[in-house]
Amino acid sequence: MNIIGRVTKDAEVRTLSNEKQVVKFSVATNDSYRNKAGERIEQTTYFDCAYWISPKVAEILTKGSLVELTGRVSARAWTGNDGETHTGLNFNTSNIKLHLGGKKSQTAQATTGNSNDKEKDDLPF
């Protein structure tokens, strides 16, 4: 699944007990439509996102950045301290594309562990 939205606050890198690192951030997507009465309805959806590939991507995930994410969505539910039931959406991100105004987009892509860091000068053309 792909989503496009804005980062709601600067990303954070968290280190888990097994020393694995995850980048946590939130993205808001906006949608609008007209109801039967012709009124324009604006709807915002928030996704709590996790990126496990590289913690370096946290440097570019700053509040207000426009990002295009590829990954999978999962729903979650919990009971708050007030006893109320809450729900949310998690987005496990495998690919992040940052859209910069007027500049070339940056991409953080999932690797399979076989990354080959050859220089671009080795290309045959």
- Convert the pLDDT of each residue in 11-29 to its tens digit: 999 999 898 999 999 999 9
Residue 121, domain member (yes or no): no
Q: Model pTM?
A: 0.73
Tens-digit pLDDT profile for the chain (125 aa)?
A: 999 999 999 999 999 989 899 999 999 999 999 999 999 999 999 999 999 999 999 999 999 999 999 999 999 898 989 999 988 899 999 999 988 754 445 555 543 334 444 444 454 43
Residue 14, strand partner residues: 22
Which letter does DSSP use for residue 63 in this model?
T
23 in a structural domain: yes
Label residues 55-88 b or e (16+ Cβ within 10 Å = b). bebbeebeeebebbbebeeeeeeeeeeeeeeeee
Domain extent for 32: 2-111
How many domains, the chain?
A: 1
* CATH code (residue 25): 2.40.50.140
Rounded CA gap, 125 and 93, in Å?
A: 34
Give the CA distances from residue 7 to residues 10, 98, 108, 109, 113, in Å, rounded to whole numbers and listed in that order.
7, 10, 15, 18, 27
Residue 7 lies in a domain: yes
